[in-house]
């Protein structure tokens, strides 16, 4: 089972950069999208159906902002929109699709980079998200939580850990949360299989950052530990350029 996660930074903008052609060639079984920035009536749904995908969209109430989606070749048994927490659900941040015993989540963690208020929102989200997932695991113990976490976990995950030590996305309290989340029973699939530096999934549009590979690894496939024996591959695809992020891939044995 090949699962891709991709923060497209606007699905319409990505489509204008031949996202659909890329998706056809990549041919994942499931793709989780973040930051779709579009309502249902702004998305060419038939184009996705023509590629063989069932599609599920959870846009933010605010137009042109946030939102997540899941596209899958197989029809899910159930799709759950949101976490039943209004302040997060109105921003379209969490979408779950169940395939037998396996559940795949597309998640878009808040950014705190715009100021103290949103950083506080982000930290509260992290607490509430972890509590929600802990409860979810009681009913759905096999979870793949894919998306943009907006956190670099370790120094190896960021091009300049010293200068960014006080920047949202690499703050000590955010990194500590990530450590605690992993210790609660999750696996960072990419780092499990790859211990090399200089692998990133997001680059600033400024200062030629992508060309110089001065990036951050903030997009993850987190799996519950009970799925680790099924983990076959985990990759980052920096050659795909429809966004300031790039896709990340995980492959699980069926």
In the set 18, 41, 89, 148, the catalytic residue is: 148
* Distance (Å) of CA 26 to CA 5, 31, 106: 12, 10, 18
Angle (nearest 5°) at CA 96 between 234 and 34: 65
Task: Order across the sheet with 248-252: list the strands.
Answer: 54-58, 68-72, 30-34, 2-7, 248-252, 231-236
Domain containing residue 32: CATH number: 3.60.10.10
Pairing of strands 215-216, 248-252: unpaired
pTM of the model as a whole: 0.98
Q: How far apart are the C-alpha atoms of 246 and 237, rounded to whole Å?
A: 6
* Distance (Å) of CA 187 to CA 20, 150, 167, 224: 30, 17, 25, 6
Q: Which domain holds residue 83?
A: 2-252
* Distance (Å) of CA 171 to CA 14, 145, 181, 193: 30, 22, 15, 25
Residues of the chain where predicted confidence (pLDDT) is lower than 50 = none
Q: Please tell me the predicted confidence (pLDDT) of residue 185.
A: 98
Q: Please state the domain count of the chain.
A: 1
Contacts of 156 (CB under 8 A, 6+ apart): 195, 197
Q: Please tell me the predicted confidence (pLDDT) of residue 146.
A: 99
Three-state DSSP state, 123: helix
Q: How far apart are the C-alpha atoms of 62 and 91, rounded to whole Å?
A: 7
Q: What is the pLDDT of residues 179-202, one digit of tens each?
A: 999 999 999 999 999 999 999 999
Q: How far apart are the C-alpha atoms of 12 and 20, rounded to whole Å?
A: 11
Q: Please tell me the predicted confidence (pLDDT) of residue 111.
A: 97
Q: How far apart are the C-alpha atoms of 235 and 213, rounded to whole Å?
A: 16
Q: Please tell me the predicted confidence (pLDDT) of residue 26.
A: 98
Q: Using an 8 Å Cβ cutoff, are 6 and 247 in contact? A: yes
- 89 in catalytic set: no
Q: What is the pLDDT of residues 34-51, one digit of tens each?
A: 999 999 999 999 999 999
């Amino acid at each position: 089972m090949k699962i891709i996660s991709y923060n497209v930074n606007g699905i319409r903008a990505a489509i204008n950069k031949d996202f659909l052609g890329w998706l056809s060639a990549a041919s994942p079984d499931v793709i989780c999208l973040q930051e779709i920035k579009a309502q249902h009536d702004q998305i060419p749904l038939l184009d996705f159906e023509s590629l063989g995908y069932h599609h599920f969209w959870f846009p933010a109430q605010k137009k042109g902002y946030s939102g997540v989606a899941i596209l899958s070749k197989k029809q899910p048994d159930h799709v759950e929109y949101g976490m039943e927490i209004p302040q997060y659900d109105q921003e379209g941040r969490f979408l779950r699709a169940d395939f037998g015993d396996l559940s795949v989540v597309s998640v878009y963690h808040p950014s705190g980079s715009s100021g103290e208020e949103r950083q506080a929102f982000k930290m509260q989200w992290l607490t509430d998200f972890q509590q929600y997932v802990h409860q979810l695991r009681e009913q759905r113990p096999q979870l793949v939580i894919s998306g943009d976490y907006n956190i670099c976990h370790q120094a190896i995950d960021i091009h300049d850990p010293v200068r960014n030590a006080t920047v949202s996305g690499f703050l000590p309290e955010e990194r500590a949360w990530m450590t605690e989340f992993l210790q609660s029973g999750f696996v960072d699939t990419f780092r499990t299989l790859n211990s090399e530096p200089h692998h990133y999934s997001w680059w600033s549009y400024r200062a030629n950052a992508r060309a110089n590979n001065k990036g951050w690894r903030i997009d993850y496939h987190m799996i519950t530990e009970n799925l680790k024996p099924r983990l076959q591959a985990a990759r980052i695809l920096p050659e795909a350029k429809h966004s300031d992020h790039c896709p990340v891939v995980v492959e699980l044995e069926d």
